[in-house]
Amino acid sequence: MESTRKLHAKKRIALVAHDNKKQELIEWSLYNKDTLANHELYATGTTGLLIEQATGLSIHRLMSGPMGGDQQLGAMIAEEKIGVVIFFWDPMEAQPHDPDIKALLRIGVVWNIPIACDRSTADFLISSPLMSIEYEAKMTDYSKYMTRKIPV
């Protein structure tokens, strides 16, 4: 049973960055401001405020990542309200909310959405011709998992 998830031409993009990567994401957002302006933007707390101030772009701001923002984004992905994630995370710094980060990345993969975790991947993703057109993402069939027998 194959299903798809529709990503509209105007994508709903989540922007997230750890503290040591916020400046890099701000610079990336400034460089890609014209492209990002064509999409609906969401971000975790401080990251959203900083990008909004630097670029003038309108951003729907959620809670700070460690305070629940990562989980909010995960829920939005599952509800098909987020279609792309740009998450500049710091691989050299332990984060107090590492389980939340792993859960966010996992749910993004479950729902087969594009995720960029570094600047190079974000550059390739944002410049893809698929970013400006409607796209049908094929979904993995999890029906066997959902209907498995649970021993009681």
Supply the residues annotated as catalytic.
70
Please state whether beta strands 3-7 and 12-17 pair in parallel, antiparallel, or not at all (unpaired).
unpaired
Of 44, 104, 96, give the one whose Cα is nearest residue 71: 104
Rounded CA separation 67/97 (Å): 9
Rounded CA separation 10/51 (Å): 19
